[in-house]
Amino acid sequence: MDKQVLENRLNVNRRHFLGKLGLGLGGLALGSLLTPGVFRNGATEGSTLPLGFKHFASKAKRIIYLFQNGAPSQFESFDYKPTLSKRFGEDLPESIRGGQRLTGMTANQEKFPLVGSRFSFNQYGESGTWVSELFPNIAKITDDICVVKTIHTEAINHDPALTFMQTGAQVGNRPSMGAWMSYGLGSENQNLPAYCVLLSRGRGNGQGVYSKLWTNGFLDSVHQGVQFSSSHDPILYLNNPEGMDMASRRIMLDQLEALNQMGYQEFGDPEITAKIKQYEMAYRMQTAVPEITDLEKEPDHIVKLYGSDCLIPGTYAANCLLARKLSEAGVRFVQLYHQGWDQHGNLVGEMPLQAEDVDRASAALITDLKQRGLLDETLVIWGGEFGRTNYCQGKLTPENYGRDHHPRCFSIWMAGGGVKTGISYGETDEFGYNIIKDPVHVHDLHATIQHLMGLDHEKLTFKHLGRRFRLTDVHGSVVHDIIA
Amino acid sequence: MQRLQNFISNFVFFLLVLLGFLLIFESYVEVPFWLQPIGRMHPMLLHFPIALIVVMVLLDAFKSHLDHTSYQKVHAAALYLTVFTTALSAIMGFLLSKEEGYTSELMSLHKWVGVSVTYLIYILLLIDPQKLSYRILLYGSFIILFFAGHFGAGLTHGMDFLMEPIAAMSEPEITQETPIFQAFIDPILEEKCKGCHNPQKHKGDLDMSTYDLLLEGGEHGPVLIKGNSMESELIHRALLPMAMEEHMPPEGKPQLTDFELELLTAWIDSGADPEINIAGLNPEDTLFSLATYQMNLYNEKDTGPKYDFDFAEEKLIASLNNPYRSVVQQTPGSPALDVSIFVKQAYKDQYLKELTDIKNQLVSLNLSYMPVTDDDLVTIGKFQNLEILNLNNTNITNEGLQHLTGCINLTLLSLSGTKIELGIEEWLANLESLESVYLWNTRITDQQLDELKKQLPDIDFYLGYAADQEPPIQLTSPLLKNKSTVLMPGEEVILEHKLSGVTIRYTTDGTDPDSISSDLYQGPFKVQGYTRVKAFAFKDQWLTSDTIEYKVFTPGLTPKEIELQHPPDKEYPGRGTASLTDLEKGKASNFKGKEWLGFHGTPFEAIFDFGTEPAELSQLVFCYLVNTGSQIMSPLSVEILGGNDKQQMQLLSRKKLPEDHKNSPNEATAVVLEFEPSKYRYYQVKGRPVGKLPSWHNAKGKPGWLFVDELFFY
C-alpha cells in the first residue's frame, strides 16, 4: 500500500521509469524524428490540421443556433401540403409509410388518419417561399433565409434525436457542435466563453434539456458550453462580494493560480490548467459581461424590433437579443433552446402560442444582424430535432389534432454566414412523409455547417480511445447547393 | 587513404540502413524544425552526385586514354565521393519530403527512383570495376539518376517547365466563359463512354465523339432529349440497377460518379446547350453550382481570395494577441489577418496604433462599441488592404471618415449606431471597391438615404429597422429586482425596468395603482410584514404595461420548535418542518421543489412552540400553492389557535377561503389571519384541504392536494 502511495506521489513507478529511460536512450538518435505518440497508447491530440484556424476561406465566423426543442411541426410552418387537407381523415397508405418504425405513442393506433394544417399558407418574398400564418414575421424575411425541407434523422424520440442533432451521435458521450467549433476555431473574444447556452420555455408541451447537450465530451473542458441563467444576472456570482475590489480579487487569483500550479506540478492533471484558465476568464468576464447585458446602449426601437418580451430575462426574445450581443462580442457559438414544441395533442391550441413566442424575435435577430453588417459573418440556424407525422395522434376532430414524431423529413431554415438566400431546398412527397428530392441527413447538415465555418469536416478530428473522432463521424457530405 | 575509404564505406552503409529505416516507418516520422535546414540543403547537394556520376561515366569512356594508376586513383576518389554524396542527398531529400506540400504522385516517383539509384550506386563500391556488370550498373545508374533528377526538377519547377515554351497552349484554363459541354461534359464522356462509342468502335451504333453525333443517337434512337434528363437514355441507363444488361457503363467498366451523374443531369435539364457557360447561368441554378464547384476543383483554386502581400511573422502575430485584441490569420495558407478589439473598459489607443505593424496584412477590422474617435481613423487610413471595417457604436463623426481614403480596398463599411450624418457622399465616392454601407441608427433619414442611393448607385446602403414603421407596442410590467420575495432585515424593495426612461407607479396596500394618486417609484422603499406590491410602467410612445403584483415578506418571529401532527406525503416531504420557516419561498412552476410540503388525504396541522418567553403576535400569513391541473387546491379554511397548554388552546381566528374555479391561475399565494394581540407559548395552525375535487375537475371526487411552503408570524 505504501508503495502505491509513493508511486502516486511521484507520479511514476519503476516500469514507467524504465520505460521512459529506455525510450529516452533509444530515442536519442531518432527520437526527435518520430512523433511522440508512437510508442504510447495514451490519448494524444489527434488533429490532422493546426487548430485555431479555418481550413479554408469562408464567410461565417460565428453561429447562433435557435433550437426549437420538442420538434415543431413542419406541416404548420414551412412544408405546405394541401393534399393532406384534401384527404383529411383518410388512412395513411402503407405504401407511403413503408414500414417506418413508430414511437410507443402511436404504434398501437389502429388508423393513421391524415390531417392537413389548420393554418393557412401563403407565398412570400421574391423567392415565393411558403410560410404558414403562424409566422408572419419570419414570412417577411424569406428573402434572407434558406429553408431546407428535407432534413432527416435516425432517431424517433426526443433525447436521442436532440443528442444526435447536437453531437452527431445518439449516445451521449460525444462533444457538442459548439464544443467542436470552439476546439477547431478557438475563441474570438477571450473575455467570454466561446460557447454559450441560453434556455427559455414556451407555453406548449415541453421536453427537457440537459447539460449533456452542450458537453465538451472528450475534448478539453474549456470547450464546454456555458449555460447562462435566465434570471436578472445571466451569469451568477460575477459581481465581487461586498468589500472585495478588482485589485484584491486580482491578488487573490494570482495566489490561487500559484497554488493550482503547484497542484499541477505534482499531479500533472490537465484539468487543473483548464481550471486556471477558467478563473482567469471569469475575472475578465467581470468587465466584459456587464457591457453585454446592459440594455441601456440599445435604442428603444430595438425593443420594438424584438418585441417587449425581450425586457423580461429568460424569455426567448430576451435570449435572442442577448445572443446577438454575445455573437457581436465574438462568441463563436451561441446555442438557444426554446422548449415546448412537442404537440402530440392540442396542436391547434399550443402551436400558435409557441409560434407567437419565437416568430418576432427570430426574424428580429436576422434583421438586427443585417443592419449591423454582421449577417454575412454570422450563421443562424432555426429548427428542431425531428419532424412530426402527417397523420393524427389520438382523436382527430375537424377543430383539433396532434402529431407524433417523424424522423424521415422535417424543415429547418438557415440565414447568413454564406448560405444562399431566398431559396427552398429539397422536396417531400405530396403526403409530406418521404423525401423525393435532395435529402439532407443530419450528418450532411453538420458537414455543411462546418464547411460554412471554413472547416473541413473530415479533417477536424480528435483522437480518443485509439481512434480519431469527428462531428460527422464517418459520414456526411457538404450540401454545396445551399452555399452561396 | 584506405582508412578514409573504409570510414566512408561504413558511414554510407549506416546512412543506407537509416534511410531504409526511415522509409519503413515513414508514416510516423515528423521532422523537428531544427533538422529542416538540413533537408533543405537537398537541392544544393544533389548536384554533386549528378556531376560526379557524369565524371565517372566520362572516366570510364576514356579509360583507355588514361594511364592505369592515375585512372585507379581518380576513379576511387570519384566513386567514394559519388556514393557518399548520393546517400547524403537521399537522406536530405527524405527530410525535405516530410515538409508540407510534398504529397503528389510525382513526389513519390521521385522518391522511389532516387532511393533505388542510391542503393544501386552503393553496389558499385562492392563490385570489381573491371567487370562488365560494373559498367552496366554504372551506365544504368547514370540513366536512372537522370530520371530522378528530372522528376525532382519537376517538383520544384513544375513538370511542364522543360517543354512549357513549346507546349504552352495544350491545357487551357477553364473560366466562367468556357462552354460547360467542352469543359466538363465532354471529358466525362471521353473518360467513361467513348471507349466503346467512338468512330472506330461504335457499339449500339452510337458514336459520342462529337456533340452532333451524340444528338444523333444510336440504334435505339436518341440518347439525349434536351431539357428532359429522365427521358434521356443516357441518364436512364446509368440509373438502372447494375445487374441489368442495359445498365451503362457496363458492369466492370468505370462507373459514373454521383457527381458526374448530377452534372450530366443538370446540363441536360438546362437544355443541353453546347455553348452554355457558367457566366450565362443564374447563380441559383443547380448547374451553376455544380459547374462552379467542378471549375474550382479543376483549377485547384482555393475558394478564397488571393492576396499578393507577404505573410506577417508568426511571432509578430503572437505578440499582438492579448485578451482584448485578437489577431487571427484567416487560413493557414492566406496572409490575410482578421482583427477584433473587445471590452470597452479595457480599450487603449495603442491597441489600434500597434496594428500599423501589420498594416499590409490587415483585411478585416472590428472595432464595434470601442471608444474610437476621429483621430484614431488616421491610423486605420494606413491599412490599404482593409476590406471589412466595423465601426458600429463608436464615437466617430463625418470628419473622421475623411481619413479613411487610404483604404482603397474597402468593400464593407458598417457605421450603425454612430453620429454619422449626410455629407459622406464625396469620400464614399472615392472608395471604388466599396460595395455595402450599413447606416442603421445613424442620423441619416429615409429620404436622405434615397438621395445617397441616387448619387452612389453602385453601393448598397442598409438603413435597417425603423420604429416608426409600426404602431406603439405595450410595455412589459416592472420587475422585482430583489433575489427573493422574502426580504432580509433592512432590505428594501427594488423595482426595475430594463427599458430606460420608464416611469413606474406602485401601491403597497393591495389597491390597483393609477397614474395620478399612486406613488411614483423613485428608488428602493421599505415594507413591513406581508405586503402586496402592485406596480405598472409607462413611457411616451408606448402602451402602458399591465399591473403586476409581487407578494413580498419580511421575516416574522421564528418558533423554537415545530410539531407536525400529520406527516406530509412521502413524495413531497420538502425539508420537513424546517421548510415552513426557512424563509425560502417555493416556485409556482415547481411544486417538486424542496420548499414545498405536500399533503394528501390529511389536513395540515402543526403546533408552533415559541418558548417560555414568547413575544406578542397578532398576524399569521399562511402561504400555499394553487395548481388546479395538478390537483393542488387552495385550502377550504385556515385557522389559528393559541394557548400555553398544548391540550387547551382557543381559537384565535378562522378564515374560509373561496373555492378555486376552472380558470384559477397557477400561483404561489397567501392568506392573512389577523387576531387579538397575544403572547402564547403555543400556536396551532390548521389548513383544511379540499376533500373531494369539484365537479368541473377532470379528477372530480378525488381528494385535493394542499401544498404549503412558508408560514410567517408577525
Closest-CA residue to B705 (of B639, B638, B624, B640): B624
CB A189 within 8 Å of CB A329: yes
Question: What interface predicted TM-score (ipTM) does this complex get?
Answer: 0.85
Query: Closest residue of A to B418, CA-based?
Result: A372
* Confidence band for A138, pLDDT divided at 50, 70 and 90: very high
A residues 308-367 near B, CB within 8 Å? 308-309, 311-313, 328-330, 364, 367
Only one residue has cell 413503408, namely: A98
Considering only CA atoms, which of B35, B27, B143 is closest in space to residue B91?
B35
For testing contact with chain B, the best of A61, A189, A286, A369 (most B CBs within 10 A): A189
Residue type (1 letter), B241: P
Q: Quick one: average pLDDT of B411-428?
A: 91
Tell me if A164 sits within 8 A of A171, measured CB to CB. no
Are A152 and A435 a contacting pair, CB within 8 Å? Answer: yes
Distance (Å, rounded) from C-alpha B390 to C-alpha A374? Answer: 9
Residue B153 has pLDDT above 90, yes or no: no
Cβ proximity of A440 and A152 under 8 Å: yes
* Grid coordinates belonging to A201: 420555455
pLDDT for B657 equals 93
Cβ–Cβ under 8 Å, residues A388 and A403: yes
Quote the pLDDT of residue A40.
33
Q: In what order do the strands lie in the sheet with B705-713?
A: B597-600, B705-713, B617-626, B667-678
CA distance B325 to chain A (A): 8
A284: cell is: 475578465
Total beta-carbon pairs less than 8 A apart between chain A and chain B: 163
Distance, CA of A153 to CA of A387 (rounded, Å): 9
Q: Is the pLDDT of residue B61 over 90?
A: no
Q: What is the pLDDT of residue A29?
A: 44
Give, in order, the Cα–Cα distances in Å from B342 to each of A60, A291, B371, B388: 19, 10, 11, 17
Q: Is the pLDDT of residue B217 over 50?
A: yes
Task: Verify whether the Cβ–Cβ distance A291 to B368 is below 8 Å.
Answer: no
Mutation choice for B interface testing from A45, A250, A285, A304 by most B CBs within 10 A: A304
> Can you tell me the distance from the alpha carbon of A130 to that of B107, in angstroms, rounded to the nearest whole number?
54
pLDDT at site B166: 64
Of the ranges A60-64, B41-45, B599-603, which is most confident? A60-64
A195 Cβ neighbours under 8 A, 6+ residues apart: A176, A178, A179, A181, A182, A214, A223, A224, A225, A226, A331, A332, A333, A335
What per-residue confidence (pLDDT) applies to A273?
Answer: 87
Average pLDDT over residues B638-654: 92
User: Three-class SS of residue B255?
Assistant: coil
Reference A406, options A425, A428, A426, A385; nearest CA is: A385
Cis-peptide into B703, omega within 30 deg? no
pLDDT of residue B369: 93
In the numeric block, the cell 453561429 is attached to: A63
Please give, rounded to a whole number of angstroms, the shortest distance from the CA of B438 to a CA of chain A: 6
Q: Rounded to an integer, what distance in angstroms lies between the CA atom of residue B119 and that of residue B38? A: 21
In angstroms, rounded to a whole number, what is the distance separating the alpha carbons of residues B308 and B385? 10
* Superfamily of domain covering A62-232+294-482: Alkaline Phosphatase, subunit A (3.40.720.10)
Rounded distance between C-alpha atoms, residue A369 and residue A371, angstroms = 6
pLDDT of residue A418: 93
Percentages of chain B per state (helix, strand, coil), in multiples of 5: 35, 20, 45
Distance CA A107, CA A405 (A): 11
Q: Is the pLDDT of residue B254 over 90?
A: no
pLDDT for B320 = 93
pLDDT beyond 90 at B294? no
Q: Report the alpha-carbon distance of residue A208 to residue A225 in Å, rounded.
A: 17
pLDDT at A46: 47
CB B640 within 8 A of CB B620: yes
Question: B669 touching A, CB under 8 A?
Answer: no
Q: Which of A33, A50, A371 has the CB atom closest to B464's CB atom? A: A371
Cβ-proximal residues to A192 (8 Å cutoff; 6+ apart), any chain = A281, A285, A288, A289, A292, A326, A329, A330, A331
Predicted local confidence at residue A327, as pLDDT? 95
Cα(B150)–Cα(B148) distance, integer angstroms: 5
Give residue B175's pLDDT: 81
Q: Which is it for strands A195-201 and A333-339: parallel, antiparallel or unpaired?
A: parallel
pLDDT band at B71 (very low <50, low <70, confident <90, very high): confident
pLDDT at B385: 93
Measured distance CA(B381)–CA(B360) in Å, rounded: 12
At residue A10, the pLDDT reads: 57
CA A139: distance to chain centroid? 24
Q: What's the first-to-final CA gap in chain A, in angstroms? A: 65
Mean per-residue pLDDT over chain A, rounded: 88
| pTM attached to this predicted model | 0.72
| pLDDT, average across residues B575-586 | 90
pLDDT at B256 over 90: no
**Most confident by average pLDDT, B20-29, B32-41, B501-510:** B501-510
User: In this model, does residue B301 exceed pLDDT 50?
Assistant: no
Confidence of residue A237 (pLDDT cuts 50, 70, 90): confident
From the candidates A185, A287, A311, A437, which should be mutated to test the interface with B, based on the most B CB atoms within 10 A? A311
Q: Which of B231-240, B619-628, B671-680 has the lowest mean pLDDT?
A: B231-240
Whether A300 sits inside 8 A of B476 (CB atoms) is no
Q: Average pLDDT over chain B, rounded to whole?
A: 88
Is residue A28 predicted with pLDDT exceeding 70?
no
pLDDT of residue B689: 93
B670 pLDDT exceeds 70? yes
Asked which of A294-308, A375-389, A464-478, B334-348 is least confident by mean pLDDT, the reply is A294-308
Name residues whose C-beta falls within 8 Å of residue A19's C-beta, 6 or more positions apart in sequence. none
pLDDT in the model for residue A15: 63
Distance CA B554, CA B527 (A): 8
Report the range out of A238-252, A377-391, B291-305, B401-415 with the highest average pLDDT.
Answer: A377-391
A35 in contact with chain B, both atoms CB, cutoff 8 A = yes
State pLDDT tens for residues B181-206: 888 898 888 888 887 787 766 778 88
Cβ–Cβ < 8 Å for A127, A424: yes
Chain A residue closest in CA terms to B463: A371
Find the mean pLDDT for residues A123-129. 93
What gap in Å lies between CA A220 and CA A180, rounded to an integer? Answer: 10
Whether B302 shows a pLDDT value over 70: the answer reads no
Dihedral, A338, A341, A346, A347 alpha carbons, nearest 10: 110
Residue A231, pLDDT score:
78
pLDDT greater than 50 at residue A382: yes
Q: If DSSP codes are grouped into helix, strand and coil, which group holds residue B651?
A: strand
Cell of A30: 531518432
Lowest mean pLDDT across A201-210, B177-186, B290-299? B290-299
pLDDT (0 to 100) of residue B169: 47
List chain B residues with CB under 8 Å of A304. 467, 470, 473
CB contact under 8 A, B499 and A368: no
Q: Which residues of A touch B442 (CB under 8 A)?
A: none
Domain ranges of chain A: 2-33, 62-232+294-482
- In this structure, the number of other CB atoms found within 10 A of the CB of residue A53 comes to 19
Asked whether residue A11 carries a pLDDT value surpassing 80, the answer given is no
